[in-house]
Amino acid sequence: MFLLNLTRMEIGLILVELSILISLLILLFWIHRSIRSLPPLAAEGVSGGRRIRTGEMEKLGQLLRESQSISRQLSKNIEEKKEITQRVLKGLDERIQALGREFQRADHRPEVFASSRYSEKDVYTRALEMSSAGANPTEIARALRLPKGEAQLIYDLQRYSR
């Protein structure tokens, strides 16, 4: 259920982190297996060999600490990106809601033709007459209280029908 609320970017980041963690686990198992497969040390005369193996163990321990540090840093980065994504999504949701309120308000506005002195058919007839007389779309829209796009359409229709 939790995965349904994640964006594709968040899921991708989680998958990247999981793949890194799995790679680290495989590396640790491989190291552990390779250490177990080493032959046991000979008796007293091999102290130099023990130092080399101890040095190798120190290097492996250092690699392990570095990989744990990288894993913690990666987890921290993913959490930060998740928080940023959630903030962005919250902002987008607020904008969508504001636009929805604007659309609702626009749907309830009074009709353009209710306050006009012309009926709807007369307005279009008058617009065609004005276009024929040489008026541009802005003048038609202003004079007849039409949307600019509608006035442009009437103007273009009149111009191309000649």
The domain limits of the chain are 2-37+54-107, 120-160
- Please tell me the distance from the alpha carbon of residue 61 to that of residue 67, in angstroms, as a whole number: 10
Helices then strands (H, E): number in the chain?
A: 5, 0
Mean pLDDT of 126-155: 89
pLDDT at 120: 66
d(CA 101, CA 103): 5
Q: How confident is the model at residue 109, as a pLDDT?
A: 56
The listed range with the strongest mean pLDDT (11-15, 34-38, 108-112) is 11-15
* Residue 84: closest CA among 155, 9, 30: 9
* Mean pLDDT score across all residues of the chain: 78
157 vs 69: CA distance, rounded Å: 70
Q: What's phi and psi for 111, nearest 5 deg?
A: -65, 150
pTM: 0.37
pLDDT tens by residue, 55-109: 788 888 888 888 888 888 888 888 888 888 888 888 888 888 888 888 777 766 5
Q: pLDDT of 10-33, one tens digit each? A: 788 888 888 888 888 888 888 888
